[in-house]
Structure 1
Amino acid sequence: KYRDGKYFSTAEVGKTLTYREYRKLAELKLVEVSDTDAWRAEFGLEKRTEKKYEQIPETHANDAAAMLMGVTRCENNAEAPFYVWRRLQYVRRSLHRQNFQKGGKRPRFGGTANGGFFRKGDWVEVETKTGKVCGWVCGLPTEKTKLVGVADTENKRIGQFSPKKVRLLARAGGFSWKEARGHIPPPAEAGGILRLTS
């Protein structure tokens, strides 16, 4: 079909298909930039663009919060937490990391599972000398190391622990999260924390 300039990129085509699928599920309301600006001013939500690396609502979430509050007319709840979600980064096997062993067999390395109970990315609780800590599995037991590696939300390893001291909280979802400074309204399904105004 001839393109008359209406859909000028594959991103626009992708958005059109996405909107079509959304409309099958519920009513879809598209919001203009001017609407978002007006709602942000109405609800007193600040926007910062000079330091996008800061993980705070003012740089990443207040536009979405303004649209939510503008469309649903819910109130701002200052007690609601702000979470930062991050895709988990798994260690990949380097091509020449390991030398061949006797018999020409290379030892196992990498992968998200090795036949044991835990998988990389599982959310777990571990017992440390200072108490219990939650994190994500980043290393699995091997023939040499019988320990489970656990990392924090910054993908920095907390330590290696005996599988007996590691308790599974949830299977891998592909991301980690942490509560950050600042507050925005959470989804309406979250226990009624957002309050609709009449």
Structure 2
Amino acid sequence: MSVKESIQHLIEKIPQGEPFTNSRFLRLGSRAAVDKTLSRLVEQGSLQRVARGVFVRPKQSRFVGNVMPDVSRVVQVIAKDHGETIQVHGAEAARRFKLSSQMPTTPVYYTSGPTREIRIGNLKVKLMHTGSQRKLQHAGKRPGLALSALWYLGKENVNVEIVRRIRDGLSKEEFETLQSSRMPAWMSEIFRQYEASRAHG
């Protein structure tokens, strides 16, 4: 089987709309041969390039036509390819927990890798380096999202009511994971106050 046939065979097994990177096929041939095959498949319309080195088998919807994969899914695939850990930025995390109505104009993620901008389709996405492992705890999971929101809101804005609203957005297990996370003293103190308020409530 040629490099092209081997790649096509593997691609057919990938679900439509699921992003993947060119590095997935490097064991089948040289980078040049892999890139050439993928470029040809893009030209034929069998594949769609959604970001540099990231592709997807087009997924069609009768309502909107071509369906782009979720931006966060593409970012995760890129991060995994580079051996990075990524976390949703606090502004977006706070919005998802309905703690803020501000909609970030550019999607931003914290990363253990270098700060840079990537283009996904027509969208610019910013990856911001953070050296803080505490900010990357439980990356990609809801307790990590909650931590990101709390860091973003900061000491001045986080209170028992904020913790209560985050608790409402998590399962019991997720909230316990959040409580056992490494966090600064001010954050731990708010959780202690929250537990005290429940005990008295």
* Same structural fold, with TM-score higher than 0.5 when normalized by the shorter chain: no
Structure index of larger Rg? 1
TM bracket, shorter-chain basis: under 0.3
TM-score (norm 1): 0.24
Structure-2-length-normalised TM-score: 0.23
